[in-house]
Amino acid sequence: MPLTGRALRLARLSRPGDGRYLFVPLDHSVSDGPIVPAADFPGLVADLAAGGADAVVVHKGRARTIPPSLLADTRLVVHLSASTVVGPDVDAKVLVGDVEECLRLGADAVSVHVNLGSDTEPAQLRDLGTVAGACERWGMPLIAMVYPRGPRVTDPARPELVAHAVSVAADLGVDIVKTVLAAPAARMAEVVQSAPLPVVVAGGGGSEEDLAAFAGAVMTSGCAGLAVGRRVFTSASPQSVVRDLAAIVHGSSPARPSESSPELAGAL
């Protein structure tokens, strides 16, 4: 990739520079409500940064509450899509920001959410295309969260559907795509092989599967990383969980659960 502002920002999203990523989404406060008391939010970001998170994902207003010193090594991704659990269609997503204001905030990347199979899929695809065009003009990396999700989707982890989600992101100009882990997990390697861009897997919030085993399966399949939110910020020690996940994502081999923090080994 030639030296451009977009290429520089994209390279910075991986702290070790190895092209692997551990993102911690904290955008749940729009969809679900507060994740921590307001006074604790900077401390949570500090723990994530100290643990080795490559980037945090927040909405634009919340980004203004993060002390700049906490983002010296951990990057800022501003999420542009929104919906709430009390809305008429939880799968619908609308744009609530634009690339220019994210640049003014100092964002290193922006993200957009698309649910393939939802009733509002056409509008969400249009929004992704609009943001992709703005990212091209302004040199901003674009992360797309593309999930098979909606009334026409009976098996969101079906490998063919996950591959389709990744393909949509690639074709519409995305730099990094976040999606679900295919089932069985061994089939995720096929998804990665079909993808012309890095694939990051969502962290399985609500899953009872051991988090270390989940992370190891993701990285073994050839994915470029993880985006783990709820299973980090609801843990007893977010910093420890992030530290162990970072070792799996950026290390030479996945850690075994017995070598991980208590939260990573079995409490989650």
* Residues that are catalytic: 27, 147, 178
- Report residue 56 as tokens: 């945090």
Contact 190, 11 (CB under 8 A): no
Name the nearest CA neighbour of 57 among 86, 34, 32, 80: 80
Place of tokens 């919340």: 62
Distance CA 258, CA 104 (A): 44
E strand or H helix that includes residue 112: strand 109-116
Distance CA 242, CA 244 (A): 5
Burial of 24 (0-12, 13-18, 19+ CB in 10 A): buried
Query: Please, which residues have CB within 8 angstroms of residue 68's CB and are 6 or more apart in sequence?
Result: 106
Place of tokens 């990523």: 21
Distance CA 29, CA 139 (A): 28
Rg of the chain over Cα atoms, rounded to whole angstroms, equals 17
Contact 78, 68 (CB under 8 A): no
Distance CA 182, CA 191 (A): 8
